[in-house]
């Protein structure tokens, strides 16, 4: 058996990892979409909502950011049955990723919202716009552009942390690799190839994000007191 | 009531895990620093090939999930080259390697934020570039790196909980072990979450103290 | 004229406005009214409360006491709809332009037309282009604020306010953030508005402009209006007014500035 021989890779490793990457994407894509919306909502709540709601949102984010994702996963999957809530491994993992990415995204959204100059709001008011018109057509479009680099980073993190689904026994790319490695006793090769899959995902995501950033870029905007 | 007794009875056992957790975090921060700083210097001042090699290293360790890296090194590479280390040490090394990639970017950012004029001023005084880097650039850059570094501390602390997947007997693993024996899953995990929260807080406080301790008047990154 | 008549006949009137911030009295019982063809000018040292006063008139800064009347109707300041109604009818020009940084010149103008006036996108854009044309910037419509000079930004800001067909325009030191060579283009636009009888309240230190166009000068200091009269009265060389005193100091500063360029920026930021 040669190290990295082609038949081993094409027959034993790649087909299974291809299944695995689809399972990973089935976690990552909904988590980005739902978690992203959740993060924007939380960011807006943390800046504009009334006191009690704001405190709840701030507290939620502080807890999520302060506790390891591993523990959050364990609580959702192994812990919740204690109070008679039973989640499937997939649901538990997805939920944890949504909370986690949402909380971190909301930090960037919040920072971006707070970075919008007071004058922009005053100019909107002076034109007779209502509070919600000002939020949606002046503050949010500017804030999104400021938040994109940070939120993009979070998406990259999410792709990597999706491997933690393994901990709650949901089999995706990492889980698949673990199974092949234990069966074939060739862990180095299998894990290296699995690593390449993640590098591939992340490189694609980075490329897409930079395209998005370019598309939304406005002359002199990102540089202006960012 | 029974729950509280269970938690209290097992507390010493779980708390012993915090030594392993701290070993993982502090060891990884240290390894990350030892490797990350030269990487950063190489990435700023090195030749093209050096820079390319370093960015490949950084790309790999930042792109591959930690869990996969743990598996790769513990079951794969270290076995292959017949190095037999205990789980905690392997975990520590892997976390450290991953952290070195992140830390190199923190240091690179702060080195690049030091104006080029500082290096010129050193040259004008007849210092060699490596002397200038050591005694002019780095003392400034390292101060600017402390905030990023304290962020890296809390990230590593949270990532360290992953090492239980290999069986490193840290807070997480011990909590899980006690939980699976007593079936008090939820209360025990919440206790563990609380412990991590406390350790994060304590460390961030300490690093903030260091930041103030080494602060130079009027010298911040926000400029 | 009695006070009540004053309010009834004025287009816009702010009466007995007071503002405190913490323990500091920022505005102390100040009043102003503008009617058709009026150009009232606020003058005074920085920190006198001119900017606060202007922003109170369209309620960008909430007042502790006092009332605002638009065409004789008292504005209910607790009611958002009534505040929006006031602001739609009162245009505002800011010292630092406050253009929306994420929108092009033409979009800056059409945004409020679409959102507040509910115009269709085409109608709003047509109107916006007309206004840009009026301030001489038709060929800059597609540029973003970062691509415009200060003077051009301020002209876009004026066009943005005019597009809402305001009954009154408030101008808060519209030229003081501009480099000296760009002041002229903005003043030319304001001149043109004055010539067309647009009622305005303006804080400015452009004394030539004040002398030739103001219908009334109000001199403010420490949150109060200290003097208030026609410019030729207050600025007559025989007058012993605080206004004249202040303006002559301003002139001295400007003369010094013209001789030594390095003082220019301080002189500008103080004026």
User: pLDDT tens, C64-104?
Assistant: 999 999 998 999 988 888 988 999 999 999 999 999 989 99
Q: Work out whether strand C200-203 and strand C39-43 pair parallel, antiparallel, or are unpaired.
A: parallel
Query: pLDDT tens digit string along A118-172?
Result: 899 999 999 999 988 998 899 989 998 889 889 999 999 999 999 999 999 999 9
pLDDT higher than 60, residue B167: yes
| Residue C260: per-residue pLDDT | 55
Calpha distance C223→C27 (Å, rounded): 4
pLDDT of residue B215: 74
Q: What percent of chain C has pLDDT over 90?
A: 65
CA distance B104 to B37: 6
Overall fold of domain B20-168: MetI-like fold (1.10.3720)
Task: Give the pLDDT mean for B154-176.
Answer: 92
Q: Does B164 touch chain A (CB under 8 A)?
A: yes
Q: Do B157 and A191 touch (CB under 8 A)?
A: no
pLDDT of residue A166: 94
What pLDDT score was predicted for residue C263?
42
Gap between the Cα atoms of C164 and C153, Å rounded: 18
Confidence band of C166 (pLDDT split at 50, 70, 90): very high
Q: Give A174's contacts in chain B (Cβ within 8 Å).
A: 65, 67-68, 71
Question: What is the interface pTM, i.e. ipTM, of the complex?
Answer: 0.88
- Interface contact flag, A66 B179, Cβ < 8 Å: no
pLDDT of residue C262: 47
Q: What is the pLDDT of residues A166-178, one digit of tens each?
A: 999 999 999 999 9
**C117 CA to centre of own chain:** 22
- Chains A & C: contacts with CB separation below 8 Å: 86
Domains and CATH numbers, chain A: 6-217 (1.10.3720.10)
Element (H, E) at A105: helix A89-115
For position A180, what pLDDT does the model report?
93
Q: Do A71 and B159 touch (CB under 8 A)?
A: no
Each residue's pLDDT tens digit, C186-223: 999 999 999 999 999 999 988 888 988 999 999 999 99
Q: Which chain A residues touch B76 with a CB distance below 8 Å?
A: 181, 187-192
Smallest Cα distance from A134 to chain B, Å? 29
Arithmetic mean of pLDDT, C149-160: 94
Q: Where are the alpha helices (DSSP H) in chain B?
A: 2-45, 48-63, 66-71, 78-80, 87-113, 116-124, 129-132, 138-160, 171-182, 185-213
Mean pLDDT of A192-219: 92
**pTM for the full predicted model:** 0.82
Say whether pLDDT at A226 is over 60.
Answer: no
Query: B86 or A3: which carries more pLDDT confidence?
Result: B86
> Do the Cβ atoms of A122 and C55 come within 8 Å?
yes
Q: Taking a contact as any Cβ pair under 8 Å apart, which residues of chain A between 81 and 100 contact chain B?
A: 81-83
The residue in chain C having the minimum alpha-carbon distance to the alpha carbon of residue A116 is C101
Closest-approach residue (CA) in chain C for A127 = C88
Say what the pLDDT of residue A218 is: 86
Report pLDDT for C256. 66
Chain A touched by B80 (CB under 8 Å): yes
Query: What pLDDT was estimated at residue B220?
Result: 56
At residue C265 the predicted structure's pLDDT band, cuts being 50, 70 and 90, is very low
Q: C266 falls in which pLDDT band (50, 70, 90)?
A: very low
Nearest beta carbon to residue A192 from set B72, B184, B186: B72
Each domain of chain B, given as residue ranges in start order, spans: 20-168
CB contacts of C112 in chain A (<8 Å) are 124, 127-129
Q: What is the DSSP letter of C97?
A: -
End-to-end CA distance of chain C: 34
Question: Which chain A residue has the Cα nearest residue C118?
Answer: A129
Nearest CA in chain B to A188: B76
Q: Residue C72 carries which DSSP code?
A: T
Query: Among C84, C146, C157, whose Cβ lies nearest the Cβ of A128?
Result: C84
pLDDT value of position C258: 60
B219 pLDDT band, cuts 50/70/90, is low
- Which of A70, A161, A164, A183 best probes binding to B when mutated, by most B CB atoms within 10 angstroms? A70
By Cβ distance, the residue of A82, A190, A198 closest to B186 is: A82
Q: Collect all residues with Cβ–Cβ distance below 8 Å to B125 and sequence separation of at least 6.
A: none
Half-sphere exposure of C24 (CA within 13 A, CB side): 7
Query: What whole-number distance in Å separates Cα of residue C163 and Cα of residue C107?
Result: 12
- Sorting pLDDT into bands at 50, 70 and 90, what band is C237? confident
More confident residue, C261 or A157: A157
pLDDT tens digits for range C7-16: 778 899 999 9
Tell me if A70 and B75 make a contact (CB, 8 A cut-off).
Answer: no
Give all chains having 3 or more CB-to-CB distances under 8 Å with chain B.
Answer: A
If pLDDT is split at 50, 70 and 90, which confidence band does B206 have? Answer: confident
Report whether pLDDT(C259) > 80. no
Percent of chain B at pLDDT > 70 equals 97
Summarised one tens digit per residue, pLDDT across range C116-125 is 999 999 999 9
Q: Which of A98-107, B49-58, C227-236 has the lowest mean pLDDT?
A: C227-236
Flag the least confident range among B115-124, C74-83, C175-184.
B115-124
Check if the beta carbon of residue A148 is closer than 8 Å to that of residue A221: no
What is the structure's pLDDT at C268?
41
Which of C105, C107, C115 to probe by mutation at the A interface, max A CB count within 10 Å?
Answer: C115
Give the pLDDT score at C136: 92
């Amino acid at each position: 058996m040669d190290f990295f021989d082609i038949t081993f890779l094409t027959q034993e490793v790649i087909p299974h990892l291809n299944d695995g990457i689809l399972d990973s994407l089935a976690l990552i894509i909904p988590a980005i979409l739902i978690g992203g919306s959740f993060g924007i909502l939380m960011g807006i709540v943390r800046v504009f909502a009334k006191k009690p709601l704001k405190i709840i949102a701030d507290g939620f984010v502080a807890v999520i950011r302060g506790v390891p994702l591993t523990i959050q996963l364990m609580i959702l999957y192994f812990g919740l049955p204690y109070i008679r809530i039973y989640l499937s491994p997939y649901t538990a993992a997805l939920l944890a990723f949504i909370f986690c990415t949402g909380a971190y995204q909301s930090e960037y959204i919040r920072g971006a919202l707070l970075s919008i100059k007071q004058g922009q709001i005053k100019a909107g008011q002076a034109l007779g716009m209502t509070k919600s018109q000002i939020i949606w057509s002046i503050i949010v479009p500017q804030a999104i552009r400021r938040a994109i680099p940070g939120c993009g980073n979070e998406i990259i993190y999410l792709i990597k942390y999706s491997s933690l689904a393994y901990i709650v026994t949901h089999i995706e790319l990492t889980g698949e690799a673990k199974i092949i490695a234990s069966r074939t006793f060739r862990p180095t090769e299998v894990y290296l190839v699995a690593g390449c899959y993640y590098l591939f995902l992340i490189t694609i995501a980075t490329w897409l994000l930079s395209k998005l950033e370019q598309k939304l870029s406005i002359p002199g905007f990102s540089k202006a007191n960012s | 009531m029974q729950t509280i007794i269970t938690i209290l009875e097992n507390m010493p056992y779980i708390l012993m895990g915090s030594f392993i957790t701290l070993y993982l975090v502090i060891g990884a921060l240290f390894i990350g620093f030892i490797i990350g700083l030269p990487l950063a210097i190489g990435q700023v001042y090195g030749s093209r090939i050096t820079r390319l090699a370093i960015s490949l290293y950084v790309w790999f360790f930042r792109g591959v999930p930690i869990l996969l890296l743990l598996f790769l090194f513990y079951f794969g590479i270290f076995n292959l080259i017949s190095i037999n280390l205990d789980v905690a040490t392997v975990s520590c090394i892997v976390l450290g390697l991953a952290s070195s990639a992140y830390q190199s970017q923190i240091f690179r950012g702060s080195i690049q934020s030091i104006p080029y004029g500082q290096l010129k001023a050193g040259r004008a005084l007849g210092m060699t570039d490596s002397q200038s880097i050591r005694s002019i650039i780095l003392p400034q850059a390292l101060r600017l790196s402390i905030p990023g570094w304290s962020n890296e501390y809390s990230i590593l602390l949270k990532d360290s909980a992953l090492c239980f997947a290999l069986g490193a007997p840290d807070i997480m693993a011990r909590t899980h072990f006690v939980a699976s024996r007593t079936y008090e899953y939820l209360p025990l995990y919440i206790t563990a979450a609380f412990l991590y929260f406390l350790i994060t807080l304590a460390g961030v406080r300490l690093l903030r103290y260091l930041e103030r301790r080494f602060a130079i008047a009027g010298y911040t990154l926000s400029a | 004229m009695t006070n009540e008549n004053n309010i009834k006949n004025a287009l816009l009137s702010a009466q007995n406005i007071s503002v405190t911030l913490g323990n500091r009295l920022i505005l102390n019982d100040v009043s102003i009214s503008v009617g058709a063809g009026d150009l009232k000018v606020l003058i005074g040292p920085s920190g006198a409360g001119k900017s606060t006063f202007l922003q109170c008139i369209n309620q960008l800064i909430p007042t502790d006491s006092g009332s605002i009347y638009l065409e004789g109707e008292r504005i209910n300041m607790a009611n958002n709809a009534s505040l929006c109604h006031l602001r739609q009818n009162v245009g505002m020009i800011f010292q630092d332009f406050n253009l929306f940084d994420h929108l092009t010149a033409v979009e800056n103008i059409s945004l409020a037309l679409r959102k507040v006036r509910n115009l269709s996108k085409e109608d709003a854009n047509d109107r916006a282009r007309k206004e840009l044309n009026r301030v001489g910037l038709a060929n800059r419509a597609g540029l973003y604020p970062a691509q415009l000079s200060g003077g051009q930004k301020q002209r876009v800001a004026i066009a943005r306010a005019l597009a809402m067909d305001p009954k009154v325009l408030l101008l808060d030191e519209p030229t003081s953030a501009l480099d000296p060579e760009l002041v002229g283009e903005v003043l030319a636009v304001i001149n043109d508005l004055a010539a067309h009888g647009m009622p305005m309240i303006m804080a400015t230190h452009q004394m030539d402009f004040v002398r030739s166009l103001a219908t009334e000068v109000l001199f403010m200091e420490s949150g109060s209006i200290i003097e208030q009269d026609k410019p030729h009265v207050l600025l007559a060389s025989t007058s012993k007014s605080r206004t004249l005193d202040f303006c002559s100091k301003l002139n001295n500063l400007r003369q010094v500035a013209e001789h030594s360029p390095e003082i220019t920026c301080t002189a500008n930021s103080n004026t």
